[in-house]
Amino acid sequence: MMQRKVTLLASLFIGTSMFITCQSSKDDAKQNSDHAPDTTWAILPFNKIDSDNPVLLPGDLQFNCPVIGKTVKWEEKDVFNPAAVVRDGKVFLLFRAEDKIGRHAGTSRIGLAVSDDGLHFTKRNEPVLYPDNDSLKIYEWEGGIEDPRLVETDEGVYVMTYTAYDGKIARLLVATSRDLITWKKHGTVLNGKYKNAWSKSGAIVARRAGSRIIAEKVGGRYWMYFGDTDLFMASSADLVHWQPLEENGGLKSVLKPRKNYFDSRLVESGPYALMTDRGILLIYNGMNADEGGDPSLMKGAYCGGQALFDKSDPSRMIARLGTPFIRPDRDYEIAGQVNHVCFLEGMVPFKDKWFLYYGTADSKIAVAVNDVIAEQAR
């Protein structure tokens, strides 16, 4: 006990002096601080629910794929990367499921699962969003439909961003629904000269209202963070038609990877971006670089980070955590379709807690919980 205290004090001291050195060299005008960087804006900590994780596994449900006209075991291979929403007091997961057929190590579709307690889920037999013989098949076949993220509108319409993969290019698309079951596809987020650009992972700025997460305008427009290299932005008047934020004739980068950190290879949006009193809180995924990454993590590991943006200028980052708040260290996070992955995509206010759902090793789904919904999230 004593030994541990001493070590803790020593590391606090080292941490503090390192912080002062780095801070004063960066900004002499700023007063030297005798405490660690302020992280009170972040939602911390999240505890993995080991008693129930992983909370969703692949199974042998079948449905008739309209594109190939055959019955497929649509969630036989892996289930992962879920969006989450609370509706009628229950948690719904919209999860990515892969079959075992086709050229791309399985075609992805979006399934729906429901839970009374946020831990025990029942899957709907058939997927709710999938490639079909429709006008978007050119983007969605045969890689499929991946990685949903979800917000609601004040009027109770669910807006999903998802990745369509044709086998060569990943593109960000939008779909809407009133009941989470029947979805209307609206097409690509990026158009014009960006139509064939690689795009993924759209996190729309939203506020919490009780257990609902509702899209919120900033400066008269809706905003979305997207991307899986840097983060970029797009804005919209109606959540369906989006306009990218540009700078010097290209997409404007608003969050970049950092050398020597857990997010040294890439940054990629997590769930929606949450409007708080302190700013717009974005939970994001960071991938560790093979060279020049965080040496305490495996090469290629995906961990969770948090960044804060100015609530009147969503493109201006104010702060971000220096270390990941969630990292792959459980068996099912370490080994799977892609090893060493915690991939965060769904977060709901439920029973006065934050339930954060994430894909583990691109194979299963787990949950981590933050016990207090602080006043920071209105």
Ligand X SMILES: *[C@@H]1O[C@H](CO)[C@@H](O)[C@H](O)[C@H]1NC(C)=O
Q: Report, in Å, the least distance between residue 111 CB and ligand X.
A: 20
What is residue 11's three-state secondary structure? helix
Residue keyed to tokens 């804006």: 41
Q: Report, in Å, the least distance between residue 72 CB and ligand X.
A: 13
Q: In the window 327-366, what residues touch ligand X (CB under 6 A)?
A: none
Q: How far apart are CA 265 and CA 147, in angstroms?
A: 20
Q: Which is nearer to ligand X, 67 or 273 (CB)?
A: 67
Q: How far apart are CA 361 and CA 331, in angstroms?
A: 9
Strands 279-287 and 266-276: antiparallel
Q: How far apart are CA 244 and CA 110, in angstroms?
A: 26
What CA–CA distances, in Å, run from 176 to 50, 111, 173, 203?
34, 15, 11, 15
Q: In the window 27-86, what residues touch ligand X (CB under 6 A)?
A: 66-67, 69
Q: Which is nearer to ligand X, 32 or 64 (CB)?
A: 64
What is the identity of the amino acid at 307?
A
Q: Report, in Å, the least distance between residue 246 CB and ligand X.
A: 38
Residue 224 phi/psi, 5-degree rounding, is -135, 135
What is residue 282's three-state secondary structure? strand
Q: Report, in Å, the least distance between residue 64 CB and ligand X.
A: 8
**CB-CB contact of 41 with 276 (8 Å):** yes
Strands 203-209 and 122-123: unpaired
Question: How many residues contact ligand X, by CB under 6 A?
Answer: 4
Q: Report, in Å, the least distance between residue 69 CB and ligand X.
A: 4
Q: How far apart are CA 373 and CA 225, in angstroms?
A: 23
Which of 133, 155, 295, 352 is close enough to bind ligand X by CB under 6 A? 133
The contacts of residue 53 (CB under 8 Å, 6+ apart) are 330, 332, 360, 366, 367
Q: Which is nearer to ligand X, 69 or 295 (CB)?
A: 69
Q: Report, in Å, the least distance between residue 132 CB and ligand X.
A: 8
Radius of gyration of the chain (CA): 21
Q: Report, in Å, the least distance between residue 77 CB and ligand X.
A: 23
Ordered alpha helix ranges (H), the chain: 2-26, 137-140, 331-334
What is residue 195's three-state secondary structure? coil
The contacts of residue 280 (CB under 8 Å, 6+ apart) are 205, 218, 273, 274, 308, 309, 310, 311, 314
Q: Which is nearer to ligand X, 139 or 261 (CB)?
A: 139
Q: Which is nearer to ligand X, 67 or 274 (CB)?
A: 67
Which two tokens mark 173? 């698309």
Q: Report, in Å, the least distance between residue 160 CB and ligand X.
A: 23
Q: Report, in Å, the least distance between residue 146 CB and ligand X.
A: 21
Q: Under the criterion CB under 6 A, does residue 220 sit at the interface with ligand X?
A: no
The contacts of residue 321 (CB under 8 Å, 6+ apart) are 39, 42, 305, 306, 307
Q: In the window 6-25, what residues touch ligand X (CB under 6 A)?
A: none
Q: Which is nearer to ligand X, 130 or 242 (CB)?
A: 130
Q: Report, in Å, the least distance between residue 74 CB and ligand X.
A: 15
By Cβ distance, which residue is nearest to ligand X?
Answer: 133
Q: Which is nearer to ligand X, 137 or 353 (CB)?
A: 137
Q: Which is nearer to ligand X, 69 or 192 (CB)?
A: 69
Q: Which is nearer to ligand X, 104 or 330 (CB)?
A: 104
Q: Which is nearer to ligand X, 72 or 245 (CB)?
A: 72
Which of 345, 342, 338 has its CA nearest to residue 325? 342
Positions that interact with ligand X (CB under 6 A)? 66-67, 69, 133
